[in-house]
């Protein structure tokens, strides 16, 4: 009798362990959505193919003097607290293409945008340095 009880307990444990996913096969582990990190080449290709987009430069004005922005980018100085303006006017249907000098700020900003409800967020891996190394053009910085 004890043998059967142990067998049923083991069977119950196995069934429970195998049934942790939801109907579409993913698990409910409450992971946060993450931005897609793209190389300079893939970032540019995706930007060029996307109609409803905003290219966001997260660097300071001082940094913009060293290397101008990507053509068409809007500046929201992350360290200056300007990202909140973007979050306050977030459009969930817009694809956001983020970059900074090397990738640290864009990673933080990407998560903030996703937390605020953005659904399409892309980060430039290596920041503006990677963009320049790939030979892509920059706009002249204007005041």
The whole-angstrom separation of Cα 100 and Cα 8 is 57
Lowest mean pLDDT among 27-31, 37-41, 72-76, 139-143: 27-31
CA 12 to chain centre: 40
Rounded to two decimals, the pTM is: 0.77
The whole-angstrom separation of Cα 25 and Cα 19 is 10
pLDDT tens for 84-106 read: 999 999 999 999 999 999 989 99
Strand 53-57 to strand 74-75: parallel, antiparallel, or no bridges (unpaired)? parallel
The whole-angstrom separation of Cα 116 and Cα 110 is 10
* pLDDT greater than 70 at residue 14: no
Mean pLDDT, all residues of the chain: 85
* pLDDT greater than 60 at residue 2: no
């Amino acid at each position: 009798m004890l043998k059967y009880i142990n067998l049923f307990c083991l069977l119950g444990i196995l069934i429970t362990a195998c049934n942790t996913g939801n109907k579409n096969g993913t698990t409910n582990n409450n992971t946060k959505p993450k931005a897609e990190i793209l190389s300079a080449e893939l970032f540019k290709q995706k930007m060029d193919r996307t109609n409803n987009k905003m290219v966001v430069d997260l660097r300071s004005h001082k940094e913009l003097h060293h290397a101008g922005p990507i053509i068409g980018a809007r500046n929201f100085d992350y360290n200056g607290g300007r990202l909140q303006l973007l979050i306050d006017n977030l459009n969930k249907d817009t694809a956001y293409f983020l970059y900074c000098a090397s990738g640290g700020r864009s990673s933080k900003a990407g998560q903030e945008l996703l937390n605020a409800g953005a659904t399409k967020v892309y980060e430039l891996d290596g920041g503006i340095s990677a963009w320049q190394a790939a030979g892509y053009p920059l706009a002249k910085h204007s005041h």
